[in-house]
Structure 1
Amino acid sequence: MNIFQVIILAVIEGITEFLPVSSTGHMVVASALMGIGTDEFVKLFEVVIQLGAILAVVALYFKRFVRSVDFYIKLVIAVIPAVIAGLLLKKYIDILLESPLVVAIALVVGGVILLFVDDWFNRPVIKDEKNINHMTAFKIGVFQCLAMVPGVSRSAASIVGGMSQKLSRTAAAEFSFFLAVPTMFGATVKDLWDFKKKGLFDTPHFHQDIKFLIIGSVVAFIVAMIAIKSFITFLEKRGFKLFGLYRIVAGIIIIIIYFAGSALH
Structure 2
Amino acid sequence: MNIFEAIILAIVEGLTEFLPVSSTGHMIIVSSLLGINEDEFTKMFEVCIQLGAILAVVVLYWRKFFNFKNWKFYFKLFLAVIPALILGYLFADKIDALLESPTTVAVSLILGGIVLLFVDKWFNNPVVDTEEKINYFQAIRIGFYQCIAMIPGVSRSAASIIGGMQQKLTRKVAAEFSFFLAVPTMAAATGYKLLKHHDLIMNNSENMKLFIIGNVVAFIVAMFAIKFFISALQKYGFKMWGYYRIIVGVVILAAIFMNWNLSV
TM-score range, shorter chain: over 0.9
Q: Counterpart in 1 of 2:245? A: 247
- How is 1:128-167 mapped onto 2 (pairs within 5 angstroms)? 128-167=130-169
2:242 match: secondary structure: helix
1:74 match: secondary structure: helix
Query: Partner letter of residue 30 of structure 1?
Result: V
Equivalent of residue 113 in structure 1, options 105, 112, 115: 115
Q: Counterpart in 2 of 1:36? A: 36
TM-superposed deviation, 1:195: 1.1
TM-superposed deviation, 1:41: 1.2
- Given that residues 10 and 218 in structure 2 are in contact (C-alpha distance below 8 angstroms), is that contact kept between their aligned partners in structure 1? yes
Distance in 2 between the 1:188 and 1:221 partners?
15
Provide structure 1 residue ranges, at least 5 long, that are not aligned to the other structure.
none
TM-superposed deviation, 1:180: 0.2
The worse-fitting range, judged by mean Cα deviation, of 206-215 and 102-111 is 206-215
Provide structure 2 residue ranges, at least 5 long, that are not aligned to the other structure.
none
Q: Counterpart in 2 of 1:2? A: 2
Equivalent of residue 235 in structure 2, options 233, 237, 243: 237
Equivalent of residue 103 in structure 1, options 102, 105, 128: 105
Query: Partner letter of residue 35 of structure 2?
Result: G
Distance in 1 between the 2:38 and 2:211 partners?
16
Equivalent of residue 191 in structure 1, options 187, 190, 193: 193
Query: Partner letter of residue 223 of structure 1?
Result: V
Distance in 1 between the 2:20 and 2:181 partners?
14
2:240 match: secondary structure: helix
The worse-fitting range, judged by mean Cα deviation, of 36-45 and 240-249 is 36-45
Off by >2 Å, runs of 4+ in structure 1? 37-40, 199-203
TM-superposed deviation, 1:262: 1.2
Distance in 2 between the 1:230 and 1:202 partners?
36
Q: Counterpart in 2 of 1:209? A: 207
Distance in 2 between the 1:66 and 1:133 partners?
20
Q: Taking structure 2 as the reference length, what is the TM-score of the superposition?
A: 0.97
User: How has the CA–CA distance of structure 1 residues 202 and 119 changed in structure 2, closer, same or farther, with 3 Å as cutoff?
Assistant: closer
Number of positions where the alignment pairs a residue of Structure 1 with one of Structure 2:
261
2:50 match: secondary structure: helix
Distance in 1 between the 2:38 and 2:186 partners?
20
2:91 match: secondary structure: helix
Q: Deviations over 1:206-236 (max 9, x none)?
A: 2221100000000000000000001001111
Q: Counterpart in 1 of 2:65? A: 65
User: How has the CA–CA distance of structure 1 residues 168 and 230 changed in structure 2, closer, same or farther, with 3 Å as cutoff?
Assistant: same
User: How has the CA–CA distance of structure 1 residues 37 and 84 changed in structure 2, closer, same or farther, with 3 Å as cutoff?
Assistant: same
Q: Counterpart in 1 of 2:76? A: 74
Is residue 89 from structure 1 mapped to residue 87 from structure 2 by the alignment? Answer: no
TM-superposed deviation, 1:202: 5.3
Distance in 1 between the 2:147 and 2:38 partners?
23
Distance in 1 between the 2:207 and 2:90 partners?
31
TM-superposed deviation, 1:201: 4.8
Q: Taking structure 1 as the reference length, what is the TM-score of the superposition?
A: 0.96
Equivalent of residue 179 in structure 2, options 171, 177, 180: 177
Query: Partner letter of residue 165 of structure 2?
Result: M
